[in-house]
């Protein structure tokens, strides 16, 4: 079960974006010295950076589907990528190549001489996802990893994302459950795979009594190497100690220097998952640049894959390749396809959903899958079917695969019945 917005996931997104935007103000040394010393707000507006842009994509994709679909999220990252938002050079190049038709999995795995990126970019965007899993923090481990490997395949980067997502889930739980900084971080470490990030969290637990953030950051790191290991333990140390006090947590996240927008985005996302939006100073929210229009999704807009009731929809028994029609779907048509056909609106004829870039078309009354159609983005915009499989098992479909029938079914999926 996940929560529906506006709720903790949205709270975490707002907290993340404010931390990101405020932290990004301190890269000018004079600003840093003057305002950090006095803890006064730098003048607004505060533009948000890549952390917020990607977090909005994670939040929107998960809210619309109630699950993580890596095909949808990959192309959301690539299409919304704004070069001027402070992405690292590797992310800029990779997202541009995906937009131009590159294979995201290959590109992500190739980064950094084939080790994959161990940067903090997967951890920085994931707190809103974690906040949706407060009922069962262990259940966010897999979806958090799925959001990470789209761009960051190195285990340290994936573990960093897992730790932040789990922390956000426990931060929501701490609204109603007694937790100390120690039990909070210990619970996060418990669900983080063993490795360098886990070791950093263990060190952070040991340092909880340390009063000086600069001393803690000297041991844990402050993101100056922009790696997950160098970023996540300190960001979560700040969040654990100040879970009920958003401004104090974010000031401490920034105080250590380093990758200040990302450390503050992680700390702010986790703490706001606990405090809610009203824990964030109103003038900070007002100073932060507005979020993009598309960051306000309709919950449940995209039909999820039917993992919870596989009994009705039955996968193909005997698939055979079938030619696909030469069509390009504009964005609204692709959105219609993602919404899926429901049996009632097609007089029981069809039921459809998308999963990982494949459109599955089932007969409404039997649940038999008749077509599955792989979809790919078109360079410059739009989507197209690139290959299809047809059911040819005689118990399920009489006759040979009919490209005309496929074209009609696809038209219905993309247009609905119309007015
Ligand atoms: Mg940034």
How does pLDDT run across 210-250, given as a tens digit for each residue? 999 999 999 999 999 999 999 999 999 999 999 999 999 99
Q: Write the DSSP string, 305-355.
A: P-TT-TTTSB--SSEEEE------B-HHHHHHHHH---GGGGTTSEEEEEE
Tell me how far the alpha carbon of residue 88 lies from the centroid of ligand 1, in angstroms: 8
3-state secondary structure of 6: coil
Tell me how far the alpha carbon of residue 21 lies from the centroid of ligand 1, in angstroms: 8
Instruction: Give the Cα separation of 259 and 232 in Å (integer).
Output: 11
Tell me how far the alpha carbon of residue 134 lies from the centroid of ligand 1, in angstroms: 26
CA neighbours within 13 Å on the CB side: how many for 336? 15
Backbone angles phi, psi at 350, to 5 degrees: -135, 150
Instruction: Give the Cα separation of 386 and 372 in Å (integer).
Output: 11
> Comparing C-alpha atoms, which of 240, 243, 197 is closest to residue 220?
197
Tell me how far the alpha carbon of residue 402 lies from the centroid of ligand 1, in angstroms: 50
Between CA 253 and CA 257, with CA 256 as vertex, the angle to 5 degrees is 100
Tell me how far the alpha carbon of residue 141 lies from the centroid of ligand 1, in angstroms: 24
Tell me how far the alpha carbon of residue 110 lies from the centroid of ligand 1, in angstroms: 22
pLDDT of residue 27: 84
Instruction: Give the Cα separation of 239 and 235 in Å (integer).
Output: 6
Q: How many CB atoms within 10 Å of residue 387? A: 14
Tell me how far the alpha carbon of residue 228 lies from the centroid of ligand 1, in angstroms: 14
Tell me how far the alpha carbon of residue 52 lies from the centroid of ligand 1, in angstroms: 8
CA-based diameter of the chain, in Å?
Answer: 78
Q: Write the DSSP string, 253-299.
A: HHHT-SSHHHHHHHHHHHHHHHH-GGGS-HHHHHHBPPPPGGGSPPT
Tell me how far the alpha carbon of residue 46 lies from the centroid of ligand 1, in angstroms: 12
Tell me how far the alpha carbon of residue 8 lies from the centroid of ligand 1, in angstroms: 22
Task: Please check whether residue 387 is in contact with residue 321, taking contact to mean a CB–CB distance below 8 angstroms.
Answer: yes
Task: Please check whether residue 32 is in contact with residue 285, taking contact to mean a CB–CB distance below 8 angstroms.
Answer: no
Backbone angles phi, psi at 355, to 5 degrees: -150, 125
Helix (DSSP H) and strand (DSSP E) numbers for the chain? 18, 5
Task: Say which DSSP state 298 is in.
Answer: P
pLDDT of residue 309: 61
Run of H or E including 95: helix 89-99
The arrangement of strands across the sheet holding 358-363 comes to 319-322, 383-391, 369-377, 358-363, 350-355
Q: How many CB atoms within 10 Å of residue 191? A: 19
Tell me how far the alpha carbon of residue 260 lies from the centroid of ligand 1, in angstroms: 8
Query: Is-above-0.85 flag for pTM?
Result: yes
Ordered by start, the domain boundaries in the chain are 8-295, 319-415
Task: Please check whether residue 124 is in contact with residue 162, taking contact to mean a CB–CB distance below 8 angstroms.
Answer: no
Return the CATH number of the domain spanning residue range 8-295: 1.10.4080.10
Tell me how far the alpha carbon of residue 305 lies from the centroid of ligand 1, in angstroms: 33
Angle between helices 246-255 and 232-241 (to 10 degrees): 150
Task: Please check whether residue 122 is in contact with residue 228, taking contact to mean a CB–CB distance below 8 angstroms.
Answer: yes
Tell me how far the alpha carbon of residue 261 lies from the centroid of ligand 1, in angstroms: 5
Tell me how far the alpha carbon of residue 327 lies from the centroid of ligand 1, in angstroms: 38
Task: Say which DSSP state 391 is in.
Answer: E
Instruction: Give the Cα separation of 250 and 23 in Å (integer).
Output: 8
Tell me how far the alpha carbon of residue 374 lies from the centroid of ligand 1, in angstroms: 34
Tell me how far the alpha carbon of residue 86 lies from the centroid of ligand 1, in angstroms: 5
Tell me how far the alpha carbon of residue 68 lies from the centroid of ligand 1, in angstroms: 23
Low-confidence ranges of the chain (pLDDT < 70): 1-5, 308-310, 345-346, 348, 417-419
The torsion of the CA quartet 280, 285, 291, 296, rounded to 10 degrees, works out to 50
- Residues facing residue 358 across a β-bridge: 355, 374
Tell me how far the alpha carbon of residue 394 lies from the centroid of ligand 1, in angstroms: 56
Tell me how far the alpha carbon of residue 193 lies from the centroid of ligand 1, in angstroms: 26
Tell me how far the alpha carbon of residue 346 lies from the centroid of ligand 1, in angstroms: 46
């Amino acid at each position: 079960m996940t929560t529906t917005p506006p709720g903790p996931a949205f709270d975490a997104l707002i907290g993340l974006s404010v931390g990101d935007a405020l932290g990004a103000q301190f890269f000018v040394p004079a600003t840093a010295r003057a305002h950090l010393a006095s803890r006064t707000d730098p003048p607004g507006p505060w533009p948000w950076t890549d952390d917020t842009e990607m977090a909005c994509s994670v939040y929107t994709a998960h809210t619309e589907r109630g699950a993580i679909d890596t095909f949808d999220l990959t192309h959301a990252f690539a299409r919304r990528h704004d070069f001027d938002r402070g992405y690292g050079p590797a992310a800029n190049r990779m997202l541009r190549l995906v937009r131009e038709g590159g294979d995201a999995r290959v590109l992500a795995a190739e980064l950094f001489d084939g080790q994959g990126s161990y940067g903090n970019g997967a951890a920085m965007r994931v707190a809103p996802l974690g906040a949706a899993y407060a009922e069962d923090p262990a259940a966010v481990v897999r979806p958090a990893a799925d959001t990470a490997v789209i761009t960051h395949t190195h285990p340290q980067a994936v573990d960093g994302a897992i730790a932040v997502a789990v922390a956000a889930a426990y931060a929501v739980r701490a609204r109603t459950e007694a937790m100390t900084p120690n039990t909070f971080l210990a619970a996060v470490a418990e669900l983080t795979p063993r490795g360098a990030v886990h070791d950093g969290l263990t060190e952070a637990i040991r340092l909880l009594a340390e009063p000086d953030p600069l001393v803690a950051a000297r041991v844990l790191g402050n993101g100056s190497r922009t790696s997950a290991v160098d970023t996540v333990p300190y960001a979560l140390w700040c969040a654990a100690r100040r879970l009920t006090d958003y401004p104090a947590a974010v000031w401490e996240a920034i105080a250590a220097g380093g990758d200040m927008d990302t450390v503050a985005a992680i700390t702010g996302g986790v703490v706001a998952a606990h405090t809610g939006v009203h824990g964030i100073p109103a003038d900070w929210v007002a100073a932060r640049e507005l979020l993009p229009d598309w960051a306000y999704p309709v919950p449940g807009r995209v039909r999820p894959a039917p993992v919870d009731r596989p009994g009705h929809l039955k996968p193909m028994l005997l698939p055979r390749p079938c030619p696909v029609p030469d069509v390009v779907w504009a964005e609204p048509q692709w959105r219609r396809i993602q919404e899926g056909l429901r049996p009632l609106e097609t007089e029981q004829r069809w039921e459809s959903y998308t999963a990982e870039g494949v459109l599955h078309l089932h007969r409404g009354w039997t649940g038999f899958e008749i077509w599955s159609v792989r979809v790919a983005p078109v360079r410059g915009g739009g989507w197209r079917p690139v290959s299809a499989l047809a059911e040819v098992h005689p118990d399920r479909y009489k006759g040979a695969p009919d490209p005309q029938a496929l074209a009609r079914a696809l038209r219905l999926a993309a247009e609905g019945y119309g007015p």
